[in-house]
Amino acid sequence: MPVQEIERFTRTVVENVEKVIVGKRQAIELVMVALFCEGHVLIEDVPGVGKTMLARSVAISLGCSFKRLQCTPDLLPNDVTGVSIYNQKTGEFEFRPGPAFVNILLADEVNRATPRTQSALLESMGEYQVTADGVTRPLPRPFLVLATQNPIEYEGTFPLPEAQLDRFMMRIDVGYPSFEEEQHILVNLRRKHPIESLDQVVDGERLIELQSDIWDVNVDETLRGYIVRLVQATRTHYDLALGASPRGSLGLYKAAQALAAIRGRDHVLPDDIKELAPVVLSHRLIIKPESALRGRSAKTLLTDLVAETRLDIGELDED
């Protein structure tokens, strides 16, 4: 059964990554959800909590190619997509692929890049291709952009525009480790970093085949209605200047299918949607300035909306 294989595949990867990233199983699972959905992830957290190690560990576990792009104000679009260089021997221009031509791209501190460079990622994230010098080139599959940004640093940064944020399937945080977890990290790093001995444990090519099986996970009609009502509620909420787009509905729908599959189920539960709503929808919302001054945030609003939005259990039981 595809669902059981997806569960085994994910468990193998997660357990391997946990040798490096201690106590952050949910964050690892959410990255796997994005991979199965062909989505992208924005990791918003303070420095030093393992964002880069998370991306590298997943890439090694899958046997996928990995590149780290350090975003700075002087980074140019060609530094992301690639550039054509004149070859004097052949008398022709040759295309030199940029970091975008990889399976897993870590765009570190993405909000330090200028808007022009940020926009160079839009086509690759949305269409899985790069157009340079009038020629469109497909990107390797699977393709995942893991972008990071520091939520407490604003000097010298360029906030991501709404169009760019909407391209990310989810926004997650890693968070600080607990007391016991941090002690475990100290023990792990006594002699060498555990990522140095990390091995590939699954075939990354198999991931591409399993991605199509995610669509076969059943989503009851009542749950589809619940997703749409939840997303539409963000568009009329008095604290919000901008609600989630239809891309948000589709992202929540498919992420719920993937989450159910990696947990061994062939059907989505209401709890899957409730768990995913904050990470899939919060970055697509714009809080009104007066509401932000009152301490309202996208995540707290979504928590309220999840609690208030009606789910007709009676209809679900009849089906």
Q: What is the pLDDT of residue 311?
A: 77
Q: Whole-prediction pTM value?
A: 0.89
Domain residue spans of the chain: 1-213, 217-319
Q: How far apart are CA 40 and CA 170, in angstroms?
A: 7
- What mean pLDDT comes out for the span 189-217? 89
Cβ atoms 33, 258 nearer than 8 A:
yes
Split at pLDDT 50, 70, 90, the class of 144 is very high
Sort residue 38 into left (φ over 0), alpha (ψ -120 to 50) or beta: left
Q: State pLDDT tens for residues 26-83.
A: 999 999 999 999 999 999 888 888 888 999 999 999 999 999 999 989 999 889 988 8
Q: What is the pLDDT of residue 313?
A: 56
Nearest of 182, 201, 181 to residue 57 by alpha carbon: 201
CA dihedral 6, 9, 13, 16 (to 10 degrees): 140
Nearest of 125, 108, 116 to residue 167 by alpha carbon: 125
Q: What is the pLDDT of residue 314?
A: 52
CATH for the stretch 217-319: 1.10.8.80
Question: Which pair of tokens denotes residue 302?
Answer: 């979504």
**pLDDT > 90: what percent of the chain?**
48
DSSP alpha helix (H) spans, the chain: 2-17, 25-37, 51-62, 78-81, 115-127, 162-165, 179-188, 204-211, 221-236, 246-262, 270-281, 289-293, 298-308, 313-318
Q: State pLDDT tens for residues 295-318.
A: 888 888 888 888 888 876 554 444
Write down the mean pLDDT value for the chain: 88
Nearest of 36, 136, 130 to residue 78 by alpha carbon: 130
Q: State pLDDT tens for residues 106-143.
A: 999 998 888 888 888 888 888 888 887 778 889 998 99
Q: What is the pLDDT of residue 315?
A: 47
CATH of 1-213, one of 3.40.50.300, 2.40.30.60, 3.90.1200.10, 3.40.50.720: 3.40.50.300
Buried residues in 25-64 as b, exposed as e (16+ CB within 10 A): eebbbbbbbbbbbbbbbbbbbeeebbbbbbbbbbbbbbbb
